[in-house]
Structure 1
Amino acid sequence: MTDPLISARDLTVSYPLGRSFLGEKHVLNAVDGVSLDIYRGQFFGLVGESGSGKTTLGRALLKAAPITAGNVVYRDEERGFDVQSIKGSDLKDYRKRAQLIFQDPYAALSPRMTVRDIIAEPLEVMKLTRNRKETDERVREIAAKCRLNLEHLRRFPHAFSGGQRQRISIARALVSGPRFVVADESVAALDVSIQADVLNLLKQIQRDMGIGFLFISHDLSVVAHVCDQVAVMYLGQLVETAPTRALFARPRHPYTSALLSAIPSLDPDAPKTAEKLEGEIPSPAAPPPGCKFHTRCRFAQDLCRRKVPALRELAPGHKAACHFAEEFDFTRAAAAPVPA
């Protein structure tokens, strides 16, 4: 396999919370020692509950959130960057190569700009085109890829549905010719039928342009539709990573199993198999000792409360952070069908 397009090693993003009355510093670790590799042309899924740190991780890879420790390395066929330390002209160059698709298509677009101006803005700010004619040609080209016609370019965002607005957001992210794109819950605000259309569009763009995607979602059924590789995140840490089929066929972490069991079945007569997770996700400002998931895990043992499990390889390409991944069968709790 070729070298990764983007690699993170022991990536940590922390936010200071001030001091207690005893003078102790309090820190919130939104991302806590994450390591991952994303390859060119790969659809890499990142899933987990709200508050698990998914968005912060995606923004850290884009140098849009402060990196406290660890390192992020970006390498394409032309240039490489140590993301945690870049600034100035190098940061501007990195912005051309790494882009973000926002979650909310209604809040992401300026109501005072036409669609043409919205898509053209990155080209003008980054000075990627020499004149207006060249800018318009590039805008029309990327709009066609995103299934927008010339009439759409003259309108304002209020004239479009949620799915159309998301296609405009995708076009804006792609117009600079990026190699890496973070799609942050990019279909969560859309109807199910529109979700499928946008997901198919992203897959087509991935094939045509060879872009590496980090696809952030809380919905494993959506991840199964588009992703080649999946990482499961809990309280700032990765608890399992695997190829999509392997993860669905045999989850090796109880948290993954619980997420899979919660995927709704299309059969109304199917027995209810969702595994209930007791309690709320703990605060990242005061995580529990040992395994962070032990407070909600029905398989937890005394070892889980004392020792942090390492993210270790259990099968080729399949890693899990569970002390008892080989001893317990988590597959029975997961009722999700294996993706084709």
Structure 2
Amino acid sequence: MSETPLITTRGLSVGFNIGGSIFGKRILKAVDKVNLDIPLGSFYGIVGESGSGKTTLGRALLKAVPITGGEARYDDGEVSYDLTTLDGSELKDYRKRAQLIFQDPYAALSPRMTVRDIIAEPLEVMGLTKGREETDKRVREIAAKCRLNLEHLRRFPHAFSGGQRQRISIARALVSGPKFIVADESVAALDVSIQADVLNLLKELQSDLGITFMFISHDLSVVAHTCDHVAVMYLGRLVETAPTRAIFEAPRHPYTKALFSAIPSLDPDERGGAQKLEGEIPSPTNQPSGCKFHTRCPHVVDHCRKVEPTLENAGSEHEVACHRWKELLAAMPA
């Protein structure tokens, strides 16, 4: 894995105008001032509760939703694009380099198309091959990498299980030769036994093809197994980022600690230790002042309600946005 960032954002924001009144517009802040560096060749995890902005962040980096503030850049060593202004021929080229694997393998595939046609569609739409023979060759190559055989290419999606359908979706995402893939809850709809098979396939593809994955998930055990680095989102903001081992062994932010404490354990002595968070995540249209987490944090003080924390260094490649993280760390039992 290279330390060179493939994706770099500074103050990245995505807002949606959801109407208004005589008092002005109502803006939903889905992503709010996110600073992110995704290393080339990494498997980068984004975690958080539903409504935290994970999916919107991924779609913004794919130029599937408009970026309304800040900076975002893609640089794979061959080309460099400013994602905030990308359009025209550059956007068409970027579509080849950045792809999405959808969450639901049942809804993502057209029931009227054969597997061959589903995988070949990006090649034909983008004009990446010169004829049917070249297209079929590319389809067969990608199908083999995704553990699909020639017989599968003649069938329709209804003939396949959920795991097989997801492999078809992965093949479709890979066929254009992308450098960057956003996997949005790509194993959440699968049985646990099938999840491991798909995750291992993604890791193999990352290693063989040098792809950079942004892996969005709410399943922390899956993230621990798969990702090199983890970023935790809450209400559109990043509250903590670190290498996977570091953040699972020593989370610094109270929100991260609460999330990780809910991971089921096979050790009966460790069960029942989950930290309960009171209340629901606030509305993105009516965000609290100061620290966004202060309405649910068990360690809140008056300063937290007034001043919004920024990410600060908490160790090697470890960053946390919490006013009291040093104080809370010092208070932990040795």
- Which of the five TM-score ranges fits, normalised by the shorter chain? over 0.9
What one-letter code is carried by the residue in structure 2 that aligns with 1:263?
I
Displacement after TM superposition at 1:315 (Å): 0.6
What one-letter code is carried by the residue in structure 2 that aligns with 1:84?
T
Equivalent pair of 1:257/1:330 in contact (CA under 8 Å): no
Shift in CA distance, 146/304, structure 1 to aligned 2, threshold 3 Å: same
Displacement after TM superposition at 1:19 (Å): 2.2
Shift in CA distance, 330/44, structure 1 to aligned 2, threshold 3 Å: farther
Deviations 1:160-183 (CA, angstroms, capped at 9, x unpaired) = 011000000000000000000000
Shift in CA distance, 318/269, structure 1 to aligned 2, threshold 3 Å: closer
Find the aligned partners of 1:2 and 1:25 in 2 and give their Cα distance: 41
Deviations 1:282-318 (CA, angstroms, capped at 9, x unpaired) = 0010011110101111011111111101111111200
What one-letter code is carried by the residue in structure 1 that aligns with 2:258?
A
Displacement after TM superposition at 1:262 (Å): 0.5
Partner of 1:155: 155
Deviations 1:93-121 (CA, angstroms, capped at 9, x unpaired) = 00000000000000000000000000000
Displacement after TM superposition at 1:90 (Å): 0.9
Shift in CA distance, 306/192, structure 1 to aligned 2, threshold 3 Å: same
Aligned runs of 1:208-247 on 2, under 5 Å?
Answer: 208-247=208-247
Equivalent pair of 1:257/1:331 in contact (CA under 8 Å): no
Shift in CA distance, 330/236, structure 1 to aligned 2, threshold 3 Å: farther
Deviations 1:34-86 (CA, angstroms, capped at 9, x unpaired) = 01011221000000000000000000000001100112111112211111111
Partner of 1:198: 198
* SS of the residue 1:186 aligns to: coil
Equivalent pair of 1:162/1:190 in contact (CA under 8 Å): yes
TM-score by length of 1: 0.95
What one-letter code is carried by the residue in structure 2 that aligns with 1:209?
L
Deviations 1:190-235 (CA, angstroms, capped at 9, x unpaired) = 1101000000000000000011110000111100001000000000
Deviates more, 1:186-195 or 1:81-90: 81-90
Equivalent pair of 1:249/1:331 in contact (CA under 8 Å): no
Identity of aligned residues (%): 71
Partner of 2:281: 281
Instruction: Say yes or no: does 1:292 pair with 2:292.
Output: yes
What one-letter code is carried by the residue in structure 1 that aligns with 2:178?
P
Equivalent pair of 2:32/2:236 in contact (CA under 8 Å): yes
Equivalent pair of 1:14/1:30 in contact (CA under 8 Å): yes
Count of equivalent residues: 332
Partner of 1:338: none
Partner of 2:36: 36
Displacement after TM superposition at 1:268 (Å): 4.9
Shift in CA distance, 174/258, structure 1 to aligned 2, threshold 3 Å: same
Partner of 1:256: 256
Instruction: Say yes or no: does 1:188 pair with 2:202.
Output: no
Find the aligned partners of 1:46 and 1:120 in 2 and give their Cα distance: 30
Deviates more, 1:185-194 or 1:80-89: 80-89
Find the aligned partners of 1:107 and 1:271 in 2 and give their Cα distance: 37
What one-letter code is carried by the residue in structure 2 that aligns with 1:12?
S
Partner of 2:117: 117
Displacement after TM superposition at 1:135 (Å): 0.5
Find the aligned partners of 1:147 and 1:327 in 2 and give their Cα distance: 51
Find the aligned partners of 2:267 and 2:88 in 1 and give their Cα distance: 55
TM-score by length of 2: 0.97
Find the aligned partners of 1:331 and 1:264 in 2 and give their Cα distance: 25
Find the aligned partners of 1:183 and 1:302 in 2 and give their Cα distance: 39
Partner of 1:337: none
Partner of 1:272: 272
Find the aligned partners of 2:104 and 2:268 in 1 and give their Cα distance: 31
Instruction: Say yes or no: does 1:17 pair with 2:18.
Output: yes
Find the aligned partners of 1:241 and 1:10 in 2 and give their Cα distance: 15
Instruction: Say yes or no: does 1:304 pair with 2:300.
Output: no
* SS of the residue 2:325 aligns to: coil
Partner of 2:66: 66
* SS of the residue 2:104 aligns to: coil
Partner of 1:108: 108
The unaligned stretches of length 5 or more in structure 1 are: 334-340
* SS of the residue 1:58 aligns to: helix
Equivalent pair of 1:243/1:317 in contact (CA under 8 Å): yes
Deviations 1:221-251 (CA, angstroms, capped at 9, x unpaired) = 1000010000000000000000000001110
Find the aligned partners of 1:263 and 1:269 in 2 and give their Cα distance: 14
Partner of 1:57: 57
* SS of the residue 1:143 aligns to: helix
Partner of 1:336: none
What one-letter code is carried by the residue in structure 2 that aligns with 1:123?
L
* SS of the residue 1:290 aligns to: coil
What one-letter code is carried by the residue in structure 2 that aligns with 1:260?
F
Partner of 1:4: 5
